[in-house]
Structure 1
Amino acid sequence: MIPEQLPDKGAFLGPVHTTDTFEIHPDCRHFVGGRPCRYWQPCHGCPHHDPVDHRVLILMLGLLGDMLIASPLPKRIRAEKPAAYITWLADEACAPILRMNPYVDEVLVHNWESAAQLPSRRFDAVYSFERTPSAAALVDRINAGHKAGLAFGGPHHALYPMGEAAMQFFRQNTWNDYRTITNSQTWTELYFAVADYTYAGEPYVLDVPEPARRRVASLLGNRSGPRVCLNLGGSLPTKLWPVRHWAELADALLDQGAQLAVLGGPSDRDACEALVRHLRMRGADESRVAYTPLSLEEAAALPGLIDVMVTGDSFGFHLALAHEKPTVLLLGPSNGAEVIPKHLANVTALRSALPCSPCAHQVACGGVGGCMDTIDPAAVLKATLDHLTAI
């Protein structure tokens, strides 16, 4: 029961209200239901009231790099439909990168609770970029006026495209030639097309928390000289450059006076530590080679504090793009046309010499790899120094 007279201004952090002025705005962007919103104000007369009239759900559970690739899309949706409310369904491990996108109103963590909750929601549009059957199968159970992208099920018990705009996106995931021969669109262009927009070269959206940036700045110190980030990470073994090549490159960069920052995800920790041990043994201390396992927020901050990134096709590459840093990109199975934005001129791509590259990960080698091995450390050094000279 609402009391006859609500608490005074000091206790309620707002004007005095009675039952006559007590009201709720469930259409507000900030409304959470069952508890006060982040502004901690009563709805009546609230200056932050922001009515929503279009609700969008984006499905992409994992793939951190793809979340950055698609990061300009929520901003475009909000530009076209200012009253849109954008929910993104994602795995808990990937949720922090989406919370760094101010145009995503709600990051819904994929678990049993959200799976039970989704059928009770109503969306105006659902854009499904999820390629795993278990996640794509959620689409059929979601109540929405418009659905586009990939779903799972139907008479063939398989992934299928929803809408003509999703056909090329669907083909990308079916066979090699669609990705390596016929396709000239980046993933960003494909994601925009699924949502019925034309990509106009908008930059990635990444709003790094200031505490994370300060922690990484402290790790790097204030040593003068060029900073180069060596990102050893990769989502597939076939996309990894050998540690011996990283060591050869790192030795040469140290000889050129560079400070190195070593980056990799949890699965790359052994390779990162092996490289750092090698560099420590040649006398490079923490002031010359910076490395420690980083949180996702800290990893997102690191490329903003260096001069050049050297990386394979991975999350680290897209972090460099988000910070608009000059980048040397090492390509083995990956098709550069998919991942390098057409409007950027500060990415130098070096490709494997093997004729089967790119293979879009449908590998003739049976997953053994070897194409990345053929990228010459001397060529990578030259490309890195060229970028440093141009700064």
Structure 2
Amino acid sequence: MPNLNGTTVHPDCRHFRGDVPCRPNKEQGYVCAGCPVYAPTQQRILIIKLGAIGDVIRTTPLLRRLRQEYPAAKITWLTLTPAILPQGAIDEILKLDLSSVLHLQAREFDLLFNLDKDKEACALHDTIRATHKFGYTLHPAGVAWPGNDLAQHKFLTGVFDQLSLGNQKPYVQEIFELCGFEFRGEEYVFDTHEDKGYNWNILPQGSPALA
């Protein structure tokens, strides 16, 4: 394990930040040496889902399947709206900006899911190193294109109104299939905002009073 000036450091831990103290250090005072919540990363997963806000929320059921399939994975999500994502379910939430792009392009992932047809998302799919990639790539013509056969259905229903009108698959099922999974009714994952001081237990119970 790495040792810096006599101090044990675990850069492979899912909690480790590298630039600021991790949450276990901040909240419980744990240090890497003997840390009871040390969680070595076995897979690195990147989700690119920028917007719109509704579609970002509708994509969160995928987190449940990824946690089931890869319980020791570090999940990174790149988006335009980081505040709406469930903080506790994602290890690293990044907003699309130059600094995020630069450091993602210097990293390597085991799985990359690009779920957006935006040109910048497709370009990132092509320039970020990953062992397995799913979703959309950038065609030489400068437009989005299916990265593999799994992405063809969702791609076509998004570019032809006739196919969209005849499509019987819910959005979340299409997303799961694009990622190589069978949708099993996984539910949305919402941010409770407890880290911001909200206490939902104090809200009134029952039906609202009518004037």
CA contact (8 A) 1:122 1:144 kept: yes
CA contact (8 A) 1:23 1:43 kept: yes
SS in 2 for 1:144: strand
| Number of the residue aligned with 1:107 | 93
| Number of the residue aligned with 1:190 | 174
| Number of the residue aligned with 2:33 | 44
Instruction: Tell me by how many angstroms 1:172 deviates.
Output: 1.6
Identity rate, percent:
33
CA contact (8 A) 1:101 1:205 kept: no
Q: Which of 13, 19, 22 lines up with 1:28 in the alignment?
A: 13
SS in 2 for 1:173: helix
Residues 1:129 and 2:115 are matched in the alignment: yes
Cα distance in 2 between the residues matched to 1:137 and 1:122: 16
| Number of the residue aligned with 1:80 | 69
> Could you tell me the TM-score, scaled by structure 1's length?
0.48
What one-letter code is carried by the residue in structure 1 that aligns with 2:119? P
Instruction: Tell me by how many angstroms 1:34 deviates.
Output: 3.7
Residues 1:97 and 2:97 are matched in the alignment: no
| 1:225–1:87 Cα change, 3 Å | closer
Q: Which of 62, 74, 84 lines up with 2:51 in the alignment?
A: 62
Structure 1 gap segments, 5+ residues each: 3-18, 228-257, 260-287, 289-391
SS in 2 for 1:43: coil
Aligned-residue RMSD, C-alpha: 2.2
Q: Which runs of 4+ in 1 moved over 3 A?
A: 210-214, 224-227
| 1:163–1:114 Cα change, 3 Å | same
Cα distance in 2 between the residues matched to 1:103 and 1:198: 21
> Could you tell me the TM-score, scaled by structure 2's length?
0.87
Residues 1:172 and 2:157 are matched in the alignment: yes
Cα distance in 2 between the residues matched to 1:187 and 1:152: 22
Aligned length: 202
| Number of the residue aligned with 1:352 | none
Structure 2 gap segments, 5+ residues each: none
Cα distance in 1 between the residues matched to 2:20 and 2:102: 21
Instruction: Tell me by how many angstroms 1:57 deviates.
Output: 0.7
Cα distance in 1 between the residues matched to 2:12 and 2:157: 38
What one-letter code is carried by the residue in structure 2 that aligns with 1:149? G
Instruction: Tell me by how many angstroms 1:153 deviates.
Output: 3.3
SS in 1 for 2:109: strand
Cα distance in 2 between the residues matched to 1:213 and 1:176: 44
